[in-house]
Amino acid sequence: MMIDDDEEDQWIIREALKAFDIGDIATYVSNGKDALSRLDSDYSKEQHLPRLIVLDLNMPLMNGTATLGKLKADQRFRNIPVVIYSTSINPFEKDKCMQLGAQIYITKPISIEESMRTVEIFLSFCR
């Protein structure tokens, strides 16, 4: 599951995924609030939970760190690995996310090559 309000960033990941020949396996939501309600409904319908959550930090309604806090405080979702995926290079924000239980902190790519490497990292967490 990718949580990011930036549709272009969603597109970049979607495009990169194509290269790995595994189809569009991701679901996309544009803020933490939507993400939590989606997870909640999936859980109650006993559907599969995502194997990885890719989380942006700057988002409307519920930002990344708040979403991360909620996820890690919830028995049902706390074991899903979370990758922070942000433009921010603020080391304090990074430290905070790591403390809250994020797996890794990745800055958004500036080239196709980087986007491929990023997706590779994402997939490594799904195995």
Instruction: Based on the shown chain and the rule CB under 8 A, indicate whether residue 7 belongs to the binding site for another protein.
Output: no
Task: Provide, rounded to whole angstroms, the least separation between the CB of residue 100 and another protein.
Answer: 19
Only one of the segments 39-47, 60-68, 69-77, 90-98 lies at the binding site for another protein (rule: CB under 8 A); that segment is 90-98
User: Look-up: residue for tokens 């239980």?
Assistant: 101
Residue 99 binding another protein, by CB under 8 A: no
Compare residues 21 and 113 and give the one whose CB is closer to another protein: 113
Residue of the chain from 109, 118, 119, 122 that contacts another protein (CB under 8 A): 109
Measured CA to CA in angstroms, residue 69 lies from 29, 39, 47, 54 at distances of: 17, 15, 23, 14
One symbol per residue from 54 to 73: x for binding another protein (CB under 8 A), - otherwise; what is it?
Answer: ----x---------------
Decide if 105 contacts 97 (C-beta within 8 A).
Answer: yes
Q: Is 8 in the site for another protein (CB under 8 A)?
A: yes
Two structure tokens written together for 93: 């924000």
- Name residue, tokens 């272009």: 8
Contact call for residue 124 and another protein (CB under 8 A):
no
Question: Is the alpha carbon torsion for 4, 126, 27, 46 positive or negative?
Answer: negative
Cα 81 from Cα 102, distance rounded (Å): 7
List of residues contacting another protein (CB under 8 A): 6, 8, 12, 58, 87-92, 108-113, 115
